[in-house]
A and B are shown apart, each in its own frame.
Chain A
Amino acid sequence: MGFFSTLDRHEQGYRVVITGVGVITPIGCGWSCNSAGFRSGKVALTPVELFDVTRQKAKIAGQVHLPSHLPENQLTLRQQKRLDRAGTMLLMAGSEAFTTSGWDLNNIDSTLPLFLGTSAGSMELGEKFYRDAVERKTRRHQAERICGYQTHRQGLTLCEAFGIQGTVTIISNACSSGANALGHAFRQVQKGHIRRAVAGGYDALSEMVFAGFDSLSALSTTTPRPFAHDRDGLGLGEGAALFCIERMDDAISRDGRIYAEIGGYGAVTDRHHLTQPHPEGVAAYQSMKRACDEACVNPVDIGYINSHGTGTPLNDSAEGHAINRWAGNAVKSLPVSSTKGGIGHLLGGAGAVESAVCLMAMEGGWIPPGVPVENVDPICQFDLVHAERDCSRLPVTLTNSFGFGGSNASLIFKGIN
């Protein structure tokens, strides 16, 4: 129960681990194919087919190829038919996360809270609602659209699909939403408010959001190439990643598979401008520092940073400044890449999917390469990885998510021996 709900409070906080992961991206559906794709630096940006972009400057995006069949679930056929792209991706990611967690959903002792990050939710249904309303078409499907458009509905549908009774929390902090949702869930378990949770982020491509980024001239009209000196913007993408997280002692006692421990979470607000980061990445520096302080690690301990690395001139420069300052003398040997050049910027899904990429790299012992860059921005004093690379050991990784509006978040993942 709310305010009184602190379970068996532990002064130091509980150690929190990830025991289930589900992921769907433009590379494909599931851990294995995504792991192979990120390891090889696969680029999955293609001409936009979901809506008309002939009058837009940018023409490509990372589009998910939804499977023809849904995984086993408890939704009625009618509910399944009503799923939009975002809801379908959420269901795919949820199915894999629950399966890999080994949780017995029929015997979970209490409610299972769901923390989701999204920026656009079900914008697709909102757009359809608007178009039919102004075209004065029949109101036949409008009620179901207005229900489905509510972001919460997608979370509730996920719960219903897997028979879980859970409270849904939607965090909409723009591009850092997915990282905030995972970080927030981590904090809830760590502080003893809950024992376990499902958390992650998702977003589907939509015409309005695509046009919005295009209007800001934030989209690349060539090829997104984060940290290139001549970068010209980002590519948008879509996808979802969900994580089952729980107290480490619970995971150990049930002999669950542990992907990683969430070591630290830093969240800071950049007040500089609604759409532009502080040029020196002051908040980005702070969020990395706070996450590392909590995890008791130093920059020299970090084996890989999955950067926010959108590919816009201002973001990459600010993040580069922040990493250089934060890493200090350790910067030259610090492997950094952005996976957004391969799948696009997944907005609310970005922080979650990029967290999954960190876990894949830790499991496989490799660094995910960014897209090849001929002319690296001199801001990159760090080791910008843009070719396949294996490494024997990757005990600690960090992922950055820096959102529109100034919401900055960093997460640290630690391997468990």
Chain B
Amino acid sequence: MSRNGVDIGITGVGVVSPAGWGLPVMLECLRSQQPVPTIAQKVPETGHEYLRRPVPKPAELNAIFRTPRLRRSSAVSRYMCAAAFEALGEHGLAKVRSDNFRLGIVVSCYTGCVNYSERFYKEVLEDPITASPIVFPETVFNAPSSHLSALLESSEMNYTLVGDESQFLSAIELGINWILDEGMDGVLVAAGEENNWLSAEGLSMFREMPVLGEGGCALLLEPCDGGEVRVEAITDRLSYNSLLSRDEVLRSMRAQLPDETKADLLLESMNEEGVWDDFTGQKINVCALMGEGFGVSTAWSCAAAAGFLRAGDIHSAIVSGIGMDQSCAAMVVSK
């Protein structure tokens, strides 16, 4: 499906996940259907314990982490930047850094830089006069996107969107609109989340013994003329509210998808509630294997869909971005 005769493709994919650094290790994990081992993390502050699937330490330190911008940055910034560099590759990096390439950046996140936020607020409660001026800037929602712009040398538009598991799909739609409406040559859409006991504490109010995941993901969107993974359709992001039942909202979302039964693969979230029960193709729940990654979960699903399409494993996939308590959306991709 195209708009105004232009197809938008996912031309680059990068992933940091509990499975490791890079898209191939995540795809391998998803193919094997073996969940990443969990770690029980004790929280001294509360006496509680929570389960997490952390990102493993990289085999070697990525050179970009030594740049001044990332030296003191949060984990979430590092995950996103590493994913972005993988998505672009050397050739893509040179291309987007050139003067004649307009690169927009859209970041989607849910909990943001929660570790530094916790650390900074703890310092404030102890004594604000000694609270760290180095930590505070990294707590701001758009710090990761700022680092991305700096490292990719882009002065073009840069938005940070805050929302649940459905948000990443809206971020892709925004990226597509920037290419079609604003004349961007490409848009990098990224997401990232990091483990923290506050997120676990919050999630545990709604789910028994949740397992947290963390990491980053980046997709490069560009106009394409065939051969690439194409974005076929994205539904509206439909909000849950008291005016409609959640069931009605989910049904509306499905009703917007064209020819959904043709998809070979469904990438699910943790909040499906039977909405895809009649889907007959293969299903993969990324969160069940990687842990609940909040805003990055759907990004991983998109990356996985693109990865399987590139590998020729499937022809078409649906990514379901059903958020826990805000909204839902879905996307169809094919090759």
CA A212 – CA B124 in complex, angstroms?
9
**Which residues in A have some Cβ–Cβ distance to B below 8 Å?**
1-6, 9, 55-57, 111, 119, 121, 126-127, 129-131, 133-134, 136, 139, 142-143, 146-147, 149-153, 156, 159-160, 163, 165-174, 180, 184, 187, 191, 193, 207-208, 211-217, 267-271, 274-275, 283, 286, 403-407
Which residues of B (111-135) have their CB < 8 Å from a CB of A? 117-118, 120-122, 124-125, 127-129, 131-133
Assess whether A167 is in contact with B128, with CB atoms less than 8 Å apart. Answer: no
In chain B between 97 and 148, which residues have their CB closer than 8 angstroms to a CB of chain A?
Answer: 105, 117-118, 120-122, 124-125, 127-129, 131-133, 136-143, 145-147
**A193 to B174 Cα, complex, angstroms:** 11
The one of A147, A172, A174, A407 that contacts B161, using a Cβ cutoff of 8 Å: A172
A269 touches B155 (CB 8 A): yes
| Bound Cα distance from A307 to B154, whole angstroms | 24
A126 CB contacts on chain B under 8 angstroms: 117
Report yes or no: B136 in contact with A212, Cβ–Cβ below 8 A: yes
- The residue that A214 contacts in the complex, of B46, B128, B157, B181, with Cβ under 8 A, is B128
CB < 8 Å neighbour of A3 from B47, B176, B243: B176
* In contact, B146 and A274 (Cβ under 8 angstroms): yes
**A4–B239 touching, CB < 8 Å:** no
| Contact across chains for B156 and A268 when beta carbons are under 8 A apart | yes
Known contacts A133-B198, A171-B161, A274-B143; is-contact A5 B124 (Cβ 8 Å)? no
Count contacts on B: residues with CB < 8 A to the other chain.
76
Contacting pair B46 A160 (CB below 8 A): no
Could you tell me if B1 and A208 are in contact, using CB atoms closer than 8 angstroms? no
* Cα of A38 to Cα of B202 in the assembled complex, Å: 42
* CB <8 Å contact, B154 and A3: no
Complex partner residue of A216 from B45, B122, B133, B169, CB under 8 angstroms:
B133
Chain B residue numbers with a CB within 8 Å of A163 are 243
- Minimal beta-carbon separation of B178 from chain A (angstroms): 9
Interface residues in B293-312 by Cβ distance below 8 A to A read: none
A217→B133 contact, CB < 8 A: yes
Closest CB in chain A relative to B105 CB, distance in Å = 8
Report B-chain residues with C-beta under 8 Å of the C-beta of A270: 155
CB distance from A236 to the nearest CB of B (A): 13
What residues on B are CB-neighbors of A403 within 8 Å?
Answer: 142
Q: Which of B184-202 contact A (CB under 8 A)?
A: 198, 201-202
In the complex the two chains form, is A136's CB within 8 Å of B233's CB? no
CA distance A174 to B329 in the complex (A): 26
A-B contacts, 30 of them at CB < 8 A, read A1-B235, A2-B169, A2-B170, A3-B3, A3-B173, A5-B236, A56-B129, A130-B198, A131-B125, A134-B122, A142-B201, A143-B205, A143-B206, A156-B241, A160-B241, A167-B237, A168-B239, A169-B237, A173-B158, A173-B160, A174-B140, A180-B159, A184-B159, A217-B133, A267-B157, A269-B146, A271-B155, A274-B69, A274-B146, A405-B143
B152-182 interface bits toward A, Cβ cutoff 8 Å, 1 = contact, 0 = none: 0111111111111000011001001100011
B242 sits at the interface (CB 8 A): yes
Contacts of A268 in B (CB 8 A): 155-157
Other A-B pairs beyond A2-B169, A136-B46, 15, CB < 8 Å:
A2-B170, A2-B173, A127-B121, A134-B45, A134-B46, A165-B243, A167-B237, A168-B239, A171-B159, A193-B177, A214-B128, A216-B136, A217-B133, A275-B137, A406-B158
Check if A4 sits within 8 Å of B3, measured CB to CB.
Answer: yes
Residues of A within 8 A of B158 (CB): 173, 269, 406-407
Distance of A312 Cα from B125 Cα, bound (Å): 26
Q: Which residues of B (1-49) have their CB < 8 Å from a CB of A?
A: 1, 3-4, 45-47
A274 close to B120 (CB less than 8 A):
no
Given the contacts A1-B235, A217-B133, A159 and B1 also touching, CB distance less than 8 Å: no
B124, B132, B201: the one contacting A208 at CB < 8 Å is: B124
A271 touches B150 (CB 8 A): yes
A270 to B335, CA, bound (A): 37
Q: Judging by beta carbons under 8 Å apart, are B233 and A407 in contact?
A: no
Q: Which residue of B lies closest to A176 (CB)?
A: B142
| Cross-chain contact B201 with A133 (CB below 8 angstroms) | yes
Partner of B241, one of A165, A187, A213: A165
